[in-house]
Amino acid sequence: MDNDVILSVRDLRVSFRAYGGIVQAVRGVSFDLHRGETLAIVGESGSGKSVSTKAVMGILPPNAFIEEGSILYAGEDLTKADESRMHEIRGHRIGLVFQDPLSALNPIMKVGKQIMEVLVRRGMNKKDARSRALELMRDVGIPEPERRIEQYPFQFSGGMRQRIVIAIALAGDPEILICDEPTTALDVTVQAKILELINTIKEQRNLSVIFITHDLGVVAQMADRIAVMYAGKIVETGTAEEIFFEPAHPYTWALLSSMPDLETRERLTAIPGAPPNMIAPPAGDAFAARNRYALAIDFKREPPLFRLSETHLAATWLLHPSAPKVEMPRELKERIRRMKEAGSRA
Amino acid sequence: MPEQDNILEVSHLCQTFTSGHGSNRIVVKAVDDVSFSVRRAETFGLVGESGCGKTTTGRTIIRLYDPTSGTVRFGGRVISGKMTRELSSYLSSNIAMIFQDPIESLNPRMTIEEIIGEGLLLRGVSRARVHEAVVEMLHKVGLTEEHATRYPHEFSGGQRQRIGIARAMIIKPKMIIADEPVSALDVSIQAQVINLLNDLKEEMGLTILFIAHNLSVVKYFSDRIGVMYYGKLVEVAESDDLYAKPLHPYTRALLSAIPQPNPLTERKRQRIDYVPERDHDYSREKPEMREVEPEHFVYCSESELRAYEKQLG
Amino acid sequence: MIVERDRLPEELQSIPAEEFRRSERDWQTDERFTTEPIGFYKDALRRLFSNKVSVVSLAAIVIIIVLALIVPNVTGYGYTEQNVKQKNLPSKVPGLCRLGILDGTRVLTNIKKTSISDPKRYPEGCVLEVIREYKAGKQTVVDVKVDYYKYCGVPEGEYHWMGTDYLGRDILTRLFKGTRISLMIAFLSVVTNLIIGVVYGSVAGYYGGRVDLFLTHLAEVLDGLPYIVVTILFMLWLGSGMLSIVLALTVTGWIGTARLTRAQFYRYKGREYVLAARTLGVPDKKLIFRHILPNTVGPLITRAMIAVPGAIFSESFLAYIGLGIKPPEPSIGILLSEGQKVLLQYPNQTFFPAVLISVLMIAFNMLSNGLRDAMDPSRRGED
């Protein structure tokens, strides 16, 4: 493991006990997080993107369990750490920003106190904690922190609340920031500001960020590297340029071409059907049933991750030398051409 | 606005909600003096952020709320007046609505056939005829006859949304109000629903009032777009124009905030802030809806209008 | 597993080429359903019956109801049939009596030894055993175990399974007759409460605004009336009897149901599917009964089920403090109240009614818990 890697997840499998049976939410996921980078995990609801990071944080719901795999952080396997150790790691090393800022905050506690709580737990005295909390609030762009520190969460707007959550996450001086759909509940103009803020604090503090989202636009703005998840597996991973401009997996193709951009006029290529039931995931490639480029082997055997470059991996049988040559859809090619053009204009 | 073949004309529509009594009384202006018109067989997009009043506008038009003031005309007839049985049946046979939440918008106790067929049964159509129509509608939205006896919870989000569309379409309305029809769906499902709406629109010559916050989708789907901000309509233009030359500072801020799936442009993107107090000076001139160029309306003052005209050259 | 495309492992290279042909699957259609369609109530029943506690409770309730219907007609005694000679008999059950339990014997204490041999007082063969013999003053006193049935001159072959009360009435007959009356009072009051509560709550909840304000305040005023006082007033006005008890239980009983219904209406009337129905022109009546009310059925049934033991208990309580139905009509409460007077001498007179009311109340409570879980819409489609 090169020392640039700060967090390393290997063959992680997480399942849930549900009424209908065991839901295999994450089915063998491996990824590395490098120092100072933003890794975006993209997927639809139920793809396992959120569950994987909850496992990293040790905040899985009680009916979930890690079947196998390891999560290595600073030489320590977090899957084996006990609750008090995890608590320490969550407070200090890894910060968390959730989708819904309202439920992440205690509604009957002043926001200042909630920030200071983390600082006091780290051994700071009250006075220092208060001035540090004010500083943090200024850092995350909350105007008039002296007045706002005495207010309750309901007195803040959604965007401001999310800033408070970020301030709390930063109070522990973390190395890693995990953002689980932090802007999904927010309006676009507010979203833009929060994303900017996350990018700024990442630069300032040299944070490593795991950013979970379903919005490819957000990914484009945030990610250095991207992992695309489908049905509990990473189907493709690579740098942002590789995923956006040289996608290799049919699911990535479908994702990229199914949403209209501002230029789109032609009919959208919809992905038929719906994601599979994870209680009994299909044999072979889970995307095969919805994939118009599916091969016979896709229904029988799971594809390995084929290496396309140092950083680019994709799990599709189309990359096997014996597979027929299948090109990405014409509309997508056209769109990528437009994207590159717009990029060179900018 | 020019008198064309307008199927829907909304003029000076206001909708306020009050809560509390006495000194606790709070009045919220959800829709504040909004005027626009929708032409026959066009798609008019209404965009804005949460709380801007776009949903309330849609619901007031179809009379889920009684308008506080202003008039709404549909097909030349005033539909914002006193609710009578006759007006109610006129409304329900001409305008239908598609809702956002695919789980919430179907009655969990009814089968798909009952849900889709309810509108026809109310109009006294025989059960056998209703069944035929339901099956036909199911095929149109890509489902099959065997789905008719099922209950909503057995379907996926995208399928449920298609059922919602079938329910709206079966009465063969002239206009559909689609309130965020795809925003609760997964990315891979959204395109299915958008395509379906597009097909039905072509096939049935529908007029659609499309309400959404996702500007890429609205741009793709609409002929003309109205942008709302805090209860006010601030800009109306043909969709290409709106994106090519946005005039109102809020529209520009909104456009600059849409994340585009393109890492090359996105990383360098400059975002624009909208601060009403800074961007407008309405102390001497009153703002109103003005036509800056043909078919392009902006809510602005006299001097702003001149500035915009100059900007367009 | 990560593989290099130019250095494929042997095993991957050897996959036959035909495996890489394009799949001919029709990928465009939606998945077909493989399961049977399940309606809401069917689903709820299925889940109710998969819960053991609910099934046992339901069985207990059904058995008690069946017994209440049959037993009073087959014991051979009338529930008001008195026999002063055979009062306060202990229980005697055929079959069991041979094993020495519930065999109709009783220990009599402090009896003059001489009197045992007096056949007028102690018919022949009724004294089974002398347990203790001791002197009290000059008299020799004994404790004897007697066959109480023979002692009272009950003909051979007559059994009172639960004994008799202070008027010699068969408790078994009276208990199940009483259960019948108690259950009837409970069901009647629950049904009237439901009807009044649902209508009241629906109107308040659906129309909201001023109507709601007025109705809610009215209910609050009624709720403030002390229930015992109201009941006593009803008893004075109508005389004691089933009708006045049902009325007394109804005066304030419906308010809870009305509140529940109103809350459900507030919860559901803004739902998108109700709005959708409104845009289709569905009239108010249909909106209430077809779209909103069915969602309240689950909580309402649960509530009604909890209300049944509540009503039985209230009835018993009223009987206990002497406001019950008119004697000699029995009810569980009347039996308990009568039994309590002789609790120490004849505990069997309290024991059996107490067991029955306990079983009934536990069973109804458990069943309503099971129903609540089975009808919880958030658990639709689960096993």
**CB-CB under 8 Å, A317 with C20:** yes
Give me chain C's average pLDDT, please: 85
Between CA A246 and CA A240 the distance in angstroms is 10
pTM (predicted TM-score): 0.82
In angstroms, the Cα distances linking C229 to A11, A65, C188, C225, C233 are 72, 58, 21, 8, 6
Cβ contacts of B158 on chain A, cutoff 8 Å? 274
**Is C67 exposed, middle or buried (CB count within 10 Å of its CB: 0-12, 13-18, 19+)?**
middle
Beta bridge partners of A234: A229
What pLDDT sits at residue A91? Answer: 76
Minimum distance, in Å, between the CA of residue C208 and any CA atom of chain A:
27
Answer whether A34's CB lies under 8 Å from A4's CB: yes
CA atoms within 13 A on the CB side of C372: 12
A176-180 sheet: strands from edge to edge: A94-97, A176-180, A208-213, A38-42, A225-230, A233-239, A313-314, A305-307, C2-4
Query: What is the Cα–Cα distance from C2 to A313, expressed in whole angstroms?
Result: 8
C240 pLDDT exceeds 80? no
Q: Residues 268..297 of A with a Cβ closer than 8 Å to B: which?
A: 268-272, 274-275, 290
Distance CA B101, CA C182 (A): 48
- Chain A: give the shortest CA distance to residue C41, in Å: 19
Is any Cβ of chain C less than 8 angstroms from the Cβ of B231? Answer: no
Instruction: Please tell me the predicted confidence (pLDDT) of residue C25.
Output: 63
Residue A195 one-letter amino acid? L
How confident is the prediction for chain A on average, in pLDDT? Answer: 89
pLDDT tens figures, A11-48:
999 998 876 778 899 999 999 999 999 999 999 888 99
Annotated domain spans of chain C: 90-151, 171-379
Q: What is the pLDDT of residue B58?
A: 94
B257 interfaces chain A, CB cutoff of 8 Å: yes
Q: Is there a contact between A10 and A32 (Cβ–Cβ < 8 Å)?
A: no
In angstroms, the CA B313 to CA B296 distance is 14
The nearest CA of chain C is from the CA of B99 a distance in Å of 7
Count CB atoms within 10 A of the CB of residue C248: 24
Torsion of CA C194, C199, C204, C205, to 10 degrees: 70
* DSSP secondary structure letter of residue C291: I
Task: Enumerate residues 6+ apart whose C-beta is below 8 A from A30.
Answer: A9, A10, A11, A12, A234
**B contact test, residue of A215, A258, A278, A340 with most B CBs within 10 A:** A258
Close Cβ partners of B186 (under 8 Å, ≥ 6 residues apart): A44, A45, A214, A275, B157, B158
First to last CA, chain A: 38
Phi, psi of A212 (to 5 degrees): -105, 130
Going from N- to C-terminal start, the domains of chain B cover 3-105+173-245, 247-313
What order of strands is seen across the sheet that includes strand C139-147? C105-112, C139-147, C127-136
Flag if C3 and A306 touch (Cβ within 8 Å): yes
Q: What is the DSSP string of C45-102?
A: HHHHHT-HHHHHHHHHHHHHHHHHHHHHHHSSS-TT---GGGTTPPPB-TTGGGGTSS
Distance of residue C357 Cα from the nearest chain B Cα, in angstroms: 36
Chain B residue with minimum CA distance to C292 = B107
Q: Report residue A152 as tokens.
A: 């309750």
Strand-pair category, A208-213 with A176-180? parallel
Examine the pLDDT at C91 and tell me if it is beyond 50. yes
Q: Looking at the DSSP assignment, which residues form a beta bridge with residue C3?
A: A306
Question: B250-259, pLDDT tens digit by residue?
Answer: 999 998 888 8
Say if residues A45 and A16 touch (Cβ distance below 8 Å). Answer: no
E strands in chain A: 5-18, 21-34, 38-42, 64-73, 76-77, 94-97, 176-180, 208-213, 225-230, 233-239, 305-307, 313-314
Confidence of residue C30 (pLDDT cuts 50, 70, 90): low
Instruction: Output the pLDDT for position B81.
Output: 86
Minimum mean pLDDT range among A62-76, B203-217, C307-321? C307-321
Q: Which amino acid type is present at position A222?
A: M
Q: Which CATH fold topology does C171-379 show?
A: MetI-like fold (1.10.3720)
Instruction: Kindly tell me if the per-residue pLDDT of C380 is higher than 60.
Output: no
Residue B24 has pLDDT above 80, yes or no: no
Rounded Cα gap, residues A8 and A70, in angstroms = 8
Return d(Cα C92, Cα C310) in angstroms, integer.
32
What is the rounded distance in angstroms from the CA atom of residue B191 to the CA atom of residue B168?
19
Dihedral, CA of residue A223, residue A224, residue A225 and residue A229, to nearest 10: 0
| Residue C247 pLDDT | 86
Tell me the two tokens of residue C124. Answer: 């022949």
Q: Are A300 and C22 in contact, with CB atoms under 8 Å apart?
A: no
Kindly list the residues from chain C whose CB atom is less than 8 angstroms away from the CB atom of residue A315.
none
pLDDT tens figures, C299-346 = 888 888 888 888 888 888 888 777 778 778 888 888 888 888 888 888
| pLDDT tens digits, one per residue of B114-136 | 999 999 998 889 999 999 999 99
Q: Counting Cβ atoms within 10 Å, is residue C31 exposed (0-12), middle (13-18) or buried (19+)?
A: middle
**What stretches of B20-66 adopt beta strand conformation (E)?**
26-39, 43-47
Helices (H), B62-156: 85-94, 112-122, 127-140
Pairs across B and C, CB distance < 8 A = 85
Phi, psi of C123 (to 5 degrees): -55, 155
According to DSSP, the β-strands at A208-213 and A21-34 are: unpaired
pLDDT digits (tens, 9 = 90+) for A175-214: 999 999 998 888 888 898 999 999 999 999 999 999 999 8
Judged against a pLDDT cut of 70, whether residue A1 lies above it is answered with no
pLDDT band at B312 (very low <50, low <70, confident <90, very high): confident
Cα–Cα distance, B162 to B71 (Å, whole number): 32
Which residues in chain B are closer than 8 Å to A344, comparing Cβ atoms? 264
Strand order in the sheet with B95-98: B95-98, B175-179, B207-212, B43-47, B224-229, B232-238, B296-300, B288-293
The three-class DSSP label of residue C31 is coil
Spatial separation of the C-alpha atoms in residues B209 and B175, rounded to whole Å? 8
| Amino acid symbol at B60 | T
Q: What is the structure's pLDDT at B4?
A: 60
User: Quick one: CATH architecture of B3-105+173-245?
Assistant: 3-Layer(aba) Sandwich (3.40)
Residue C107, pLDDT score: 86
Express each pLDDT in C257-267 by its tens digit. Answer: 999 999 989 98
